Structure 1
Amino acid sequence: MASFVVLLVLLSALMHASWNAFLHLSNDRVWLLGMFSVPYVIVSAIGACVLPLPDAASWPYIGASAVLELAYCFTLVRAYRSGDFGQIYPIARGLSPLLISAGALVFAHEALHAVAATGVVLVSLGIMSLAFRRGMRFSGESVPYALLTGLFIAVYSIVDGLGARAAGNALSYIMWVYLLWNVPQFLIVCKLRGGAAQMFTSKAAVARGMLAGVLALVAYCFVIEAFRFLPIAMVSALRELSSIFAVLIGWLFMKEQLTARRMIACALVTCGAVLIRL
């Protein structure tokens, strides 16, 4: 059973990298965000109707998380405008555990163990290698947005950790966050793209957009299921392999260069994130 659950988590990591690849490859990434929201709205609306309301103490967290998720999505779209997928994705994903660890040290006075401290160093080295050229100049105009994306991931992760505990029912909390994030996102995209009718003109494009949303939803469901059978730290660490999948997807399907430097940097980010999680 444990081996099957591990495979499930690895599949989740691949699916997460895959929906990001859909976003990166899209000719209109803002429009794709709108289609991405449709499965989320449907599932979360049903969940919000059938599940009990979260406790009152969790609603400030729900509102904050929805705003942060919305900002994260549009920042991610901007990051993918010009950066290589195999560069931007590892920076955004790798920065969040680094920032969460730093925040725990500064604000919660949680000292890092030697293993986690080693992970912080590895992630830092990997991100610096991906993000900067010689002379500490950004390696591409999209890198600052990738770093900002990582910041949003870290902040909403902390907010969700606190909010889910205050909600009384973690699944109810997630459903309301999804609903309050994706309804505005869909409406904003409709406004930007000329109305809801214009969103559904191409059946093939709509299918691709909704597939990206379904991949994201199912990937998270796999993770939730894995938490029932494996330690949370192990599941979180396995998910970090999505950065390796992203580099391979960029090489295989986007003709991005698979340089030794990029592979080493991505390996550093992944290994460091695993050590931080553990």
Structure 2
Amino acid sequence: MSLATFVMVLVAAMLHAAWNLAMKDSGDRLVAAWAIMGVGGLASVPVLAALGPPPSAALGWLGVSVCIHVGYALALARAYELTDLAVAYPVARGTAPLLVTIGGVTLLGDSIAPLGVVGVVVVSAALMSMMRRGSLAGYRWAVLTGLFIAGYTLSDGAGVRAGDDAIRYIAVLFVLQTLVLSVVVLRMRGSGAMAAAVRAQPLRLTLAGLGGVTAYLLVLIASRTSPLGLVSGLRETSTAFGALGGYLFLGESVTPKHAAAIAAAIVGALLILAGS
């Protein structure tokens, strides 16, 4: 992983934390997730119209990924409804890197130096240590969210490599994801709730959506040339940014334990850079 890729994924982590904060701070987390992802879908339409679809080799992976991304949105919204950001976010993001590392090596032929593996383990352990007490149901939905994260990271990584294109891939992904999620949320919440959410926070949801699609584009660009486990481990440092954002904007406390975990996650990120 080059220094430029390292910085790119860190920027993606910060943007990811920002849109999760916006989602958690909304009245209806599922509708907020739909609106945020819908902004990415709308922004992708002109890109798709100008560049066209990705190569056919990526289309199968796209179909798999759309289903996983919709499941991820539903699970994440439920986790945020049942427990705090400080519980759900570390569990979900800390679960994924080790699974992605194993999947990337065994399924996609990634090669990771031992120091890089140590960095991924340190990041995951640091994130999981940031958990606070929460409801058992909240933990379960957060773990399920982590499984979805691992699934779409692997399928999207395989898709951008198969098609050798990140921009057209993510444009189709966000358009299809928006269409499917719109149908699901319409049935679950109704058009009135969807319209009310957009009217209540139009600027925040728009900025969060643009941040979300930009963050994932940066991740997919990095995934074309870097081992998925390293990209995933580094991206999940977003939890540290999320803890800081929760303290600044949601009134959640940051304990010495959180500060130590954030420091450990930074060490793990540096190990990923040194071992790549």
- Settle same-fold status: TM greater than 0.5: yes
Alignment of 1:194-233 (within 5 A): 194-195=190-191, 199-200=195-196, 203-220=199-216
Alignment of 1:266-277 (within 5 A): 266-272=262-268, 275-276=271-272
1:102 alignment counterpart: 102
Cα separation, 1, equivalents of 2:124 and 2:223: 28
Alignment of 1:163-202 (within 5 A): 163-195=159-191, 199-200=195-196
* C-alpha spacing 1:197/1:181, structure 2 compared with 1 (3 Å): same
Q: Give the SS at the match of 2:119.
A: helix
> 1:270 Cα shift?
4.9
Q: Give the SS at the match of 1:126.
A: helix
- The percent of aligned pairs where both chains have the same amino acid is 34
Give per-residue Cα distances to partners, 1:6-39, cap 9 Å, x unaligned: 8776554322211100111111111112322332
1:35–1:206 contact (8 Å) kept in structure 2: no
Residues 104-113 or 173-182, more deviating: 104-113
Which of structures 1 and 2 has the bigger CA Rg?
1
> 1:202 Cα shift?
6.0
2:53–2:168 contact (8 Å) kept in structure 1: yes
Give per-residue Cα distances to partners, 1:62-109, cap 9 Å, x unaligned: 100111111111111111123332332233223222111122455567
Residues 39-48 or 172-181, more deviating: 39-48
Give per-residue Cα distances to partners, 1:40-74, cap 9 Å, x unaligned: 22222222222233232321101001111111111
Cα separation, 1, equivalents of 2:175 and 2:109: 34
Cα separation, 1, equivalents of 2:264 and 2:3: 25
Structure 1 counterpart of 2:48, one-letter code: A
Give per-residue Cα distances to partners, 1:223-266, cap 9 Å, x unaligned: 678899x9999987764442221111111222222122233234
Structure 2 counterpart of 1:262, one-letter code: H
Q: Give the SS at the match of 2:254.
A: coil
Cα separation, 2, equivalents of 1:56 and 1:267: 43
2:24 alignment counterpart: 24
Q: Give the SS at the match of 2:74.
A: helix
2:247 to 219, 233, 251: 251
1:36–1:212 contact (8 Å) kept in structure 2: yes
Give per-residue Cα distances to partners, 1:119-163, cap 9 Å, x unaligned: 344245335534587xxxx77532222222222111111111111
Structure 1 counterpart of 2:38, one-letter code: V
1:62 alignment counterpart: 62
Cα separation, 2, equivalents of 1:149 and 1:264: 25
* C-alpha spacing 1:205/1:54, structure 2 compared with 1 (3 Å): same
1:87–1:247 contact (8 Å) kept in structure 2: no
* C-alpha spacing 1:223/1:131, structure 2 compared with 1 (3 Å): closer
Structure 1 counterpart of 2:126, one-letter code: G
Q: Give the SS at the match of 1:142.
A: helix
Q: Does residue 91 in structure 1 map to residue 87 in structure 2?
A: no
1:99–1:154 contact (8 Å) kept in structure 2: yes
Cα separation, 2, equivalents of 1:128 and 1:161: 24
> 1:117 Cα shift?
3.5
> 1:172 Cα shift?
1.8
Question: If the length of structure 1 is used for normalisation, what is the TM-score?
Answer: 0.79
Q: Give the SS at the match of 1:169.
A: coil
2:120–2:234 contact (8 Å) kept in structure 1: no
Cα separation, 2, equivalents of 1:26 and 1:153: 22
Residues 92-101 or 62-71, more deviating: 92-101
Where does structure 1 lack aligned partners over 5 or more consecutive residues?
none
* C-alpha spacing 1:226/1:61, structure 2 compared with 1 (3 Å): closer
Q: Give the SS at the match of 1:60.
A: helix
